[in-house]
Amino acid sequence: MINNTPNTLLRVLHYPPLTGNEEAGAIRAAAHEDINLLTILPAANEPSLEVQCQDDSWLDVPSDFGNLIINIGDMLQEVSGRYFPSTTHRVVNLAGKTSTKSCISLPLLLHPRSEVIRKTHPG
């Protein structure tokens, strides 16, 4: 299903360094879900990624070297009948923290091959 797919995409995202004048908690990338099956994301070099919990609160994602973050995308949500809900996530300026370093994020957006038939699970 995913072997040799030309649809999988590796993105390189650059978040410039903060100047110190930014509001803590300000949104750098608004809350969203990814459309693909899974997003595989090596931990960024700076913390700022948050995921939304079932109670609508936000949880900081650790940026420890060597960690992989796996987000469920809309395609997997739909074929599983919402058994696996899409991961809502965002990027924010962390409260009380300013960084003079750029933040680099390398999400791998995993898509099935185009000829794979995806049926919505009844449920």
Read off the pTM. Answer: 0.82
pLDDT one-digit tens code per residue, 39-53 = 999 988 778 899 999
Place of tokens 């079932």: 54
CA dihedral 20, 25, 28, 33 (to 10 degrees): 160
Higher pLDDT among residues 110 and 100, named by residue: 110
Mean pLDDT, range 53-72, rounded to an integer: 93
* 116 pLDDT tier (thresholds 50, 70, 90): confident
Q: How far apart are CA 94 and CA 96, in angstroms?
A: 6
What does the mean pLDDT of the chain come to?
85
| Contact of 99 with 91, CB cutoff 8 Å | no
Mean pLDDT, range 51-65, rounded to an integer: 93
pLDDT of 98 above 60: no
Report DSSP letters for 18-63, one per residue.
P-S-SPTT-EEEEEE--SSSEEEEEPPSS--EEEE-TTS-EEEPP-
